[in-house]
């Protein structure tokens, strides 16, 4: 079996985690937390990092931390993991969707302006599968309409847009360190930003909204326990030491698949580059010409013991949101096609060159 993801833990992971156990620092108190926060924030060119339990938790904090709530609208892509939409909905605000670009699979930024109303509070960009969103037009709209920018860079560690780090664009930006991301802490996430006040608010929300000053156990608002443990941060520090290699290896895997599959008829492959970025291939996705073609290929690959995953499912077609009366009669044809016809193949950092060849020959 070649699983769709295998992580790579080849550096100081064991050493640093052992240090936590030997010293007894296993909770969210402990020296690796601030080390990981400082080093990661510096890596993506931000002043502050706030380590949290996972990427979805980071989105909850980002939305609430910016003061987004009842009556507010947030513009985002329909084609995304549910996390950003869930954070907006649970904050009491409404996600307003746009379709995707058929070539980059990212939100079609030309559709944003028509969706801006007097209730719009923020644009939430989600960089998809290895290529960033075209940021310049988004930044121009945020400026023109005085909107906040939330950047979901969960799949974009080390990726750049016109030479600037992804994760450095948002008023607040988030990352995930789930095992299929470019660096992992098992479960984990990070918010990054430059604003002192926002950092204090996010740290408070991460820690049950305990007041930083004043008597403990008296609360003026609600937060979550979304703290990261020192054990996770120890993994993170070790992984960060290897990040350049991880990105290079992901690019090698992606480039290798691209070359070996370029004559494959009936399937669209990821775009290798745009004029603003080169793909870092968080995953290597294929989009079949038809849904039947997708189903047949996924079935054949399963028989050949090769793992696959379908693409994200559109937000406007989520039963949970339909039940809430959201997105009634809305349709986003590009996102719908990606969701139905798209799937990705093994591309984890633990994948060997022989594995790549096995996957390629099975596909062909």
Ligand X SMILES: *Cc1c(COP(=O)(O)O)cnc(C)c1O
Contacts with ligand X, residue ranges (CB under 6 A): 54-56, 81, 83, 126, 152, 154-155, 176, 178, 189
Output the smallest distance, CB 63 to ligand X, in A.
Answer: 13
Task: Decide whether 184 or 201 has the Cβ nearer to ligand X.
Answer: 184
Which residue lies nearer to ligand X by CB, 170 or 189? 189
Taking the complex as a whole, how short is the minimal distance between the CB of residue 187 and ligand X, in angstroms?
6
Q: HEC profile for the chain?
A: CECCCCCCCCCCHHHHHHHHHHHCCCCCCCHHHHHHHHHHHHHCCCCEEEEECCHHHHHHHHHHHCCCCCCCEEEEECCCCCHHHHHHHHCCCEEEEECECCCCCCECHHHCHHHCCCCEEEEEEECECCECCCHHHHHHHHHHHCCEEEEECCCCCCCEECCEECCCCCCEEEEECCCCCCCCCCCCEEEEECCHHHHHHHHHHHECCCCCCCCCCCCCCCCCECECCHHHHHHHHHHHCCHHHHHHHHHHHHHHHHHHHCCCCCEECCCCECCCCECCCCCEEEEECCHHHHHHHHHHHHHCCECCEECCCCHHHCHHHHHCCCCCCCCCHHHHHHHHHEEEECCCCCCCHHHHHHHHHHHC
**Least gap, CB of 13 to ligand X (angstroms):** 18
| Nearby residues of 197 by Cβ (< 8 Å), 6 or more positions away | none
Least distance to ligand X, CB of residue 275, Å:
23
**Residue nearest ligand X (C-beta atom):** 55
Instruction: Check the CA dihedral 220-225-226-231 and report its sign.
Output: positive
Report yes or no: 159 and 182 within 8 Å, Cβ to Cβ. Answer: no
Q: How far is the CB of 143 from ligand X (least distance, A)?
A: 24
Which residue, 81 or 142, has its beta carbon nearer to ligand X? 81
Q: Which is nearer to ligand X, 74 or 363 (CB)?
A: 74
Q: How far is the CB of 250 from ligand X (least distance, A)?
A: 14
CB-nearer residue toward ligand X: 126 or 314: 126
Query: Which CB sits closer to ligand X, 257 or 282?
Result: 282
Answer for the pair 304, 360: CB distance below 8 angstroms, yes or no: no
CB 38 → ligand X: shortest distance, Å?
21
Q: Cβ 306 to ligand X, closest distance in Å?
A: 22
CB of 354 to ligand X, least distance (A): 28
C-beta closer to ligand X: residue 104 or 363: 104
Nearer to ligand X, 5 or 363 (CB): 5
Residue nearer to ligand X on the CB measure, 30 or 55: 55
Alpha-carbon Rg for the chain in angstroms: 20
């Amino acid at each position: 079996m070649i699983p769709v993801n295998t992580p790579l833990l080849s550096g100081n992971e064991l050493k640093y985690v052992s240090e936590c156990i030997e010293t007894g620092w296993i909770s969210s108190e402990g020296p690796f937390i601030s080390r990981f926060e400082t080093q990661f924030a510096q890596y993506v060119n931000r002043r502050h990092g706030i380590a949290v339990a996972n990427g979805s938790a980071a989105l909850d904090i980002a939305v609430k931390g910016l003061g987004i709530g009842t009556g507010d609208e947030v513009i985002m892509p329909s084609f995304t993991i549910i996390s950003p939409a869930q954070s907006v909905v649970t904050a009491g605000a409404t996600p307003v969707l746009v379709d995707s670009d058929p070539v980059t699979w990212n939100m079609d930024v030309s559709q944003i302006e028509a969706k801006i109303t007097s209730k719009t509070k923020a644009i939430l960009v989600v960089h998809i599968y290895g290529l960033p969103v075209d940021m310049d037009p988004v930044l121009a709209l945020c400026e023109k309409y005085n909107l906040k920018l939330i950047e979901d860079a969960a799949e974009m560690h080390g990726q750049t847009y016109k030479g600037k780090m992804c994760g450095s664009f948002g008023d607040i930006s988030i990352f995930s360190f789930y095992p299929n991301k470019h660096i992992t802490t098992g479960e984990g996430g990070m918010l990054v930003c430059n604003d002192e006040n926002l950092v204090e608010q996010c740290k408070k929300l991460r820690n049950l909204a305990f007041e930083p000053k004043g008597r403990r156990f008296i609360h003026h608002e609600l937060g979550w326990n979304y703290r990261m443990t020192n054990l996770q941060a120890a993994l993170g520090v070790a992984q960060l030491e290897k990040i350049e290699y991880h990105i290079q290896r992901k690019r090698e895997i992606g480039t290798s698949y691209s070359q070996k599959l370029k004559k494959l008829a009936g399937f669209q492959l990821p775009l290798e580059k745009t004029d603003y970025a080169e793909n870092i291939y968080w995953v290597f996705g294929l989009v079949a010409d038809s849904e039947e073609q997708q189903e047949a290929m996924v079935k054949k690959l399963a028989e050949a013991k090769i793992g696959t995953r379908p693409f994200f499912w559109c937000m406007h077609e989520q039963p949970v949101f339909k039940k809430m009366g959201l997105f009634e009669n809305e349709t986003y044809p590009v996102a719908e096609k990606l969701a139905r016809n798209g799937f990705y193949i093994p591309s984890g950092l633990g994948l060997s060159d022989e594995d790549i060849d096995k996957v390629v020959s099975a596909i062909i």
